[in-house]
Amino acid sequence: MTELNDLRLLLASRYPIILIETWDEPRALSVLRRIAMEQALPIFSWTITDGLRREELIDAPAQKNNADPIAMLGQVRGTKEAGIYALCDIHPFLKDDPKIVRLMKEIALRHEEVGHTLVLISHALDLPPELQRLCARCELSMPDETQLLSIVQDEARGYAKRTGQRVRTDRASLEKVVRNLRGATHEDARRLARGAIVDDGAITDTDLAEVNKAKFNLMDMESVLSYEYDTAQFSQVGGLNGLRGWLMKREQAFTGSPGALDAPRGILLVGVQGGGKSLAAKAVAGMWHLPLLRFDMGAVYNKFFGESERNVREALRLAETMSPCVLWIDEIEKGIASGDNDGGTSRRVLGTLLTWMAERKSPVFLVATANQIADLPPELIRKGRFDELFFVDLPDATIRHEIFRIHLDKRKQDATTFDLGLLAELSEGFTGAEIEQAVVAALYSAQAAEMMLEDAHLCDELRSTVPLSVTMAESLAALRQWCSTRAVPAN
């Protein structure tokens, strides 16, 4: 375990205060107990409910008289024998009580003389400035895939013992579930695996969505990131065959075991509004059976200096925790467009994002969409930032034919009874979103007339609609001109 070696090194380096930020308190205490026994040091844990307790002694009684943090720190300061003190509940008092800060500082300053080490354990630790130079941080490592597989197998054995029935699964589904448990702590992974099994006594691909949803909720990731529960399949997308083929060639390199090929890192989708870029982002996650996280660039910006960049870093860190996953940044130009009218905030946000894109090691596949390519800074769209830049153009007649079929079938209409060739001809210049709205409006018209949906209803709606390609003809022409030599056709 890397944290075992890290803690040994920090103790050997004689840091008086060590910080462990983790949700897995029992595991942190277990690692500390092991080190204390190796070094023949007494180890105490402290909670605000029980006070101090000897951790290495089985069934050692708690010292209720020092449940108060000031009383506890006073006792530690007065103790002459060196020891390790794991403080599990001290974090709420670090900013509000100067006496507690003073006691901790005095204990730390006497470390060379007495040898006490304070280990602060919490999900989040923010030390006052006077203690920061006296401390070091240590992170608990997350279980790797071998450990996660062992956890899932252990839960499966437990289920079989309780119910008398073996857990049904196959190797492919088991590997996918294990891969999607990465980033969870040991205990969280155990609970997630148990939840996937007890539902139906099986581990299948259908468990992936629930495992990812539960994992997202456990990590309290609702901030500028949101979990998209409804992904899509390319069968729900008209066209985009070029993009689909590109993704199929790279699926194994991203979702499989590490190999000789570099894993794909991300794509930028550029095109007209309503052309299907957002649906394509959802289809990437659906095709690869990965969780989809949506990054809301509009929620990043904060009036306090430095908070916007912190929001970006936190969101990207959380995305890495959910890896392997697809991170979708919709209309990215709205968050990092070029300009100096915001005091340089957008430039700093852009710098934070570019650094992460260049240095990330976790399997997070970035899908960014943009409508206004001219608003994007050149350093974002240069070669190397994304694996590929795709242009999503207006659908041709064949694709429009398919889009009509998809949306009619979706609304339980028999597409074979409609003249899809005529509808495709009348909808020239329409985006996929405009075709969908024509179908929806035609259904309303048919219902109002107390009739079944017919070609006439759809034709009327198409003829009465002015598509975006007409109202925005100049900007569409400019976009096509720009993408003709810089982007790969998605269709």
Q: Report H helices in 181-299.
A: 186-200, 207-218, 241-255, 277-288
Instruction: State the distance between the two ends of the chain, measured CA to CA, in whole angstroms.
Output: 48
Q: What is the pLDDT of residue 120?
A: 95
Domain 397-471: assigned CATH number: 1.10.8.60
SS3 487: coil
Kindly report, residue by residue over 247-256, the tens digit of the pLDDT. 999 988 887 7
Q: What is the pLDDT of residue 214?
A: 79
- Residue 487: pLDDT band with limits 50, 70, 90: confident
pLDDT at 301 over 80: no
CA–CA dist 369, 381 (Å, integer) = 12
Kindly report, residue by residue over 29-73, the tens digit of the pLDDT. 988 999 988 888 899 999 999 899 888 777 777 777 788 999 999
Structure tokens at 473: 């003809």
User: Virtual CA dihedral for 448, 450, 452, 454, nearest 10 degrees?
Assistant: -50
Q: What is the pLDDT of residue 437?
A: 93
Arch. (CATH architecture) of 2-138:
3-Layer(aba) Sandwich (3.40)
- Residue 205: pLDDT band with limits 50, 70, 90: confident
Arch. (CATH architecture) of 234-392:
3-Layer(aba) Sandwich (3.40)
With tokens 């130079």, the residue in question is: 133
Q: What is the pLDDT of residue 269?
A: 92
- Residue 444: pLDDT band with limits 50, 70, 90: very high
Kindly report, residue by residue over 119-145, the tens digit of the pLDDT. 999 888 888 888 988 999 888 777 888
Q: Which of 263-267, 273-277, 329-333, 336-340 has the highest mean pLDDT?
A: 263-267
Q: Which of 76-90, 185-199, 202-216 has the highest mean pLDDT?
A: 76-90
Q: What is the pLDDT of residue 310?
A: 76
Task: Calculate the average pLDDT of the chain.
Answer: 85
Structure tokens at 183: 């980033």
Query: ∠ CA 262-264-265 to the nearest 5 degrees?
Result: 115
- For 474-490, letters b (16+ CB in 10 Å) and e give eebeebeeebeeebeeb
CA–CA dist 328, 292 (Å, integer) = 7
pLDDT at 297 over 70: yes
pLDDT at 286 over 70: yes
Kindly report, residue by residue over 402-438, the tens digit of the pLDDT. 999 999 998 999 999 999 999 999 999 999 889 999 9
Q: What is the pLDDT of residue 304?
A: 47
Q: Which of 172-186, 292-306, 403-417 has the highest mean pLDDT?
A: 403-417
Q: What is the pLDDT of residue 232?
A: 67
Model confidence, pTM = 0.68
pLDDT at 235 over 70: no
